[in-house]
Amino acid sequence: MVHYPAWDQDEARSIVSSLAHLEGATLPILHALQEEFGYVDPQAVPLIAEALNLSRADVHGTISFYHDFRTAPPPRKIVKLCRAEACQAQGCETLVEDLAREHGIVVDSHHGNQDAVVETVYCLGNCALGPSALVEGELIGRVDADRIAALCGARQ
């Protein structure tokens, strides 16, 4: 688990100014902010807009377009669940339904328990052992709803 520093407006301003010279700097800046703080605080939008001579709407649109950018601190744990074709053939969609029905865990929802979330990815390269999940860099094959819930710290 990665521990991020608290959002710091001065540090964010420094990151923005250090990358503003790049062509197409919006994405490198957003990635750098998220790498530093674990998310892109909404306070960064006017900083980026001013530095790059963009509208706030343009910056916000970029953040909201890409699914990997967070606008709130990340949960304690992120479980990435493969939902590509091979894992679908091995029952990952049933697993997703079981997670919601039996454990109250909704995949790709950033609401509710923020200690852990389950996010969709498309292919972890473990097709023969699907459905597969990735947790803190560890690839896990043949997962079921109970295993995912346990990884999220949910009570069974």
**152 Cβ contact partners less than 8 Å away, ≥ 6 residues apart:** 77, 79, 103, 105, 113, 115, 116, 117, 118
Q: Do you find a cis peptide bond into 75, omega within 30 degrees of 0? A: no
Question: Residue 136: helix, strand or coil by DSSP?
Answer: coil
DSSP 4: P
Which residue, chain included where needed, has tokens 């990735």? 134
DSSP 6: P
| 104 C-beta neighbours (distance < 10 Å), count | 11
Residues 4-32 have pLDDT tens digits of 999 999 999 999 999 999 999 999 999 99
Domain boundaries, the chain: 9-65, 77-151
- Of residues 154 and 88, more confidence is placed in 88
Nearest Cα neighbor of 120 from 88, 156, 155 is: 88
Domain 77-151 has CATH 3.40.30.10: yes
pTM score of the predicted model: 0.69
Which residue, chain included where needed, has tokens 């939008």? 45
Residues 40-75 have pLDDT tens digits of 999 999 999 999 999 999 999 999 999 889 999 888
